[in-house]
Chains A and B, each alone.
Chain A
Amino acid sequence: MRVAEPLILASDLLHARVQRFAAGETDDSFVGLALDIARFQASASEGFRRLVRARGASLEALDDVPPVPSEAFRLTRVATFPQDREAVRFFTSGTTGAERGAHAMRRTDTYEKLSLSYGRQALLAPGATAIVVALAPRLDTPPTSSLGYMMARFMDAFDDEPLGELEPHPPSASGARWLLDANGVNLPGLERVVRTASRTRRPILLLATAFALVRLLDDLAGARFPLPSGSVVMQTGGFKGRTREVSMEELRHGVTQAFQLGDRRVVGEYGMTELTSQLYEGTLRESALSARHPGAAPGIYFEPPWLRVAPVDPVTLQPVTEGDVGLARFIDLGNVDSAISVVTQDLVRRVEGGIQLLGRQAGAPARGCSLAIEALLDG
């Protein structure tokens, strides 16, 4: 037996517990499971062990689990298993290849189950299906984008009919469903999808980055592009490094106008490569998520039961008073094999049972000719 096998076995048992927890089929508590994962990571990851030691953490309470800064994913491999056991490696967005962060996964079934379960609760009515297409580039092989990978899983799980007789299977293998490339948005392709949807009387679930939606609105130049009744747009991501930025409110308005949708049919998603789980707005009235948060306003994101987000003080990393702004600290049960607790530079506030995203915390001011670390990380 390889030396690492006992750790792999321990990890597999935790994956099984997390999947049961997400399915509501266990008496495990969130806290108990999170602490067990933290202790497992302290035994399996030298990096996390060092961080625990450096912080003098006992791992006996959630707030005592030191969060791993998202920058660590750019500095080193954040994983509890050897590289030759990687099933997939997702990269963070960045301007250069060498310094991009990565989130390696040994198995993808937990990621898929969690993403599909909560995505379905946020983006569809219970039991409903839709034609799923993405304003995103076609998924690489092997996949390198966690967002693209999730979109592909949504296509395969939420869409039970092919777009046409000749469409390959699974749906995510179809080039007709990926409607963004280096030339921009494939408007003729989107028109074909809309015609098919109208003919078959099915709604469309359009998965899109905010950047791609801006491109689409620019291309449409004010023209209307009505989507079939019941359609939904999932909007995700920001504008880092892009040429044009618009506010999320402005973008939502533009999208609803262009697609002739009610404004509650645009659902914001928040995810990051370093996490396994996602948050969604509860705007879609017929969704299970909205039923749990009736009247949820746009801009409020809700986490699933297997993810907890806490605004924390930037220095102590302890939770701030309810209603105060802090850095987003995620405790994600899905991150069995990476980092159970991750802290980012995103500023958030808890409000109405959810999370309000308030942008990124400004870094310390650059100091003259002392080389900023970002200059090296970003190339």
Chain B
Amino acid sequence: MADDAAARRARVERLLEAARAVASPERGAGRALRARLLETTGLSAANIELGLTRCLELEPARQDLDDLLASTPTTRRAHVLLSGNVFVAALRAIAIGVAASAAVQVRASRRDPALAEALHALAPESFELTAKLQPEPGEHLWAYGSDATLADVRASLPVGVWFHPHGAGFGAAVVDARAWSPSAARALALDTALFDQRGCLSPRVVCVLGNLAQARDVAQAIARELVALEVELPPGPVSADDAAERRRRRDAAAYAFELFDAGSGWVSCSSELVIPPSARNLHVAPTADPSRSLGPFAAHLTCIAADDERRGALRKAFPGARLAALGQMQCPVLDGPVDRRQTPSGELA
């Protein structure tokens, strides 16, 4: 079946038109979505608002859409399995689906189906919401979620299905102690606090080009900004299980590392790079060679924030990670999947 570029582009544009409507606080759909997201995401109203206005890709550049279309294989039917951790991610995932096919089946997250359902209400012709995906040989399935979920999906696929798994990951920041500034700390704190650090783009570690004392200064500065951000971007409510786990993790980190209070989270610092749990927590470590320090985590790295000067080397060392400026880690352009660790063609089941 022929599916020309213009038709594919039109389908994506149609979806984006619906997204602009649901993102608008002036529209009924936008207000309804905000109310629903408060129930489904566990984020504060301020975090939801910032996610919608800052991180939802509503006006992609033409070149970005060209790239999205070029990197997306076409298929008779596209299947999309959504994750529920970062609500805005549903738009990109469905956009890739509609770029791939005129027939798109989407299974929304049970925990957080709000954006997918809101988009479907305004653009029902773009995709079908379903409780069960049933891809057939030759068709493509894009799946987002934890590695365990993806392993289960992979094991259940019929032979001949093209699988695009986008699994667990995290972000890192590389900063030069000599160029460090309060605005950099603020930007990195914002990247961390958005979506309460649940996303695979959320920074979890900071490599500081400098010594341990400089890394400590960076850690303290970020911690201060995270504390300040809790006023304007409060964390979502915490369950009893979450609170218990946070207490345990925080005490373990306090024992193991130098720890700076960051409101609901913390910033730890030591000479070695370790990954803290995600709840607005960061670990800061000094490095002389960020590529080497981050090397052991390459399989999980989805995004690296760095200045222009270092991006080339980091892109070469970590081809699966997106490169971004500080403060822009949660705002990837709409040029394809957020996660670049997989080949665009997918893997054949």
Contact B200 A75 (CB under 8 A): no
User: With an 8 A cutoff between CB atoms, is B304 at the interface?
Assistant: no
Asked whether A368 and B86 contact (CB < 8 A) given A315-B244, A361-B244, A373-B276, the answer is: yes
Q: For the complex formed, measure the closest distance between the CB of A292 and the CB atoms of chain B, giving whole angstroms.
A: 33
Contact B248 A370 (CB under 8 A): no
Q: For the complex formed, measure the closest distance between the CB of A29 and the CB atoms of chain B, giving whole angstroms.
A: 27
Spot the interface stretch: A66-74, A82-90, A159-167.
A66-74
Neighbouring B residues of A367 by C-beta, 8 Å: 84-85, 198, 278
Q: For the complex formed, measure the closest distance between the CB of B259 and the CB atoms of chain A, giving whole angstroms.
A: 6
User: With an 8 A cutoff between CB atoms, is B167 at the interface?
Assistant: yes
* B244 to A, closest residue via Cβ: A314
Contact B254 A370 (CB under 8 A): no
Contact A371 B200 (CB under 8 A): yes
Neighbouring B residues of A66 by C-beta, 8 Å: 251
Contact B85 A69 (CB under 8 A): no
Neighbouring A residues of B244 by C-beta, 8 Å: 314-315, 327, 361
Binary interface profile of A, 38-52, with partner B (CB < 8 Å = 1, else 0)?
A: 000000000110110
Considering the complex, which residues of chain A in the window 355-379 have a beta carbon less than 8 Å from any beta carbon of chain B? Answer: 361-373, 375-376
User: With an 8 A cutoff between CB atoms, is A345 at the interface?
Assistant: yes
Contact A75 B245 (CB under 8 A): no
Asked whether A78 and B146 contact (CB < 8 A) given A367-B85, A371-B170, the answer is: no
User: With an 8 A cutoff between CB atoms, is A275 at the interface?
Assistant: no
Neighbouring A residues of B258 by C-beta, 8 Å: 50
CA distance in complex: A84, B74 (Å): 62
Asked whether A54 and B251 contact (CB < 8 A) given A47-B256, A367-B278, A373-B276, the answer is: yes
Binary interface profile of B, 229-259, with partner A (CB < 8 Å = 1, else 0)?
A: 0000000000111111101111111111111
Neighbouring A residues of B83 by C-beta, 8 Å: 368-369
The interface on chain B, measured as residues whose beta carbon lies within 8 A of the other chain's beta carbons, has a size of 49
Asked whether A369 and B259 contact (CB < 8 A) given A317-B247, A364-B239, the answer is: no
Contact B85 A76 (CB under 8 A): no
Contact A343 B248 (CB under 8 A): yes
CA distance in complex: A48, B252 (Å): 10
CA distance in complex: A30, B166 (Å): 54
Which of these, A48, A50, A315, A370, contacts B197 with CB under 8 Å? A370
* A366 to B, closest residue via Cβ: B146
Q: Other CB < 8 Å A-B pairs besides A68-B251, A76-B255, A76-B256, 16 of them? A: A69-B249, A71-B248, A75-B253, A314-B240, A314-B244, A315-B247, A364-B245, A365-B241, A367-B198, A368-B84, A368-B86, A369-B146, A369-B169, A369-B200, A370-B198, A373-B276
B-side interface residues toward A, CB under 8 Å?
A: 83-86, 109, 144-148, 166-170, 197-200, 202, 204, 239-245, 247-259, 274-278, 297, 300, 339
A-side interface residues toward B, CB under 8 Å?
A: 47-48, 50-51, 54-55, 66-69, 71-72, 75-76, 78, 314-315, 317, 327, 343, 345, 361-373, 375-376
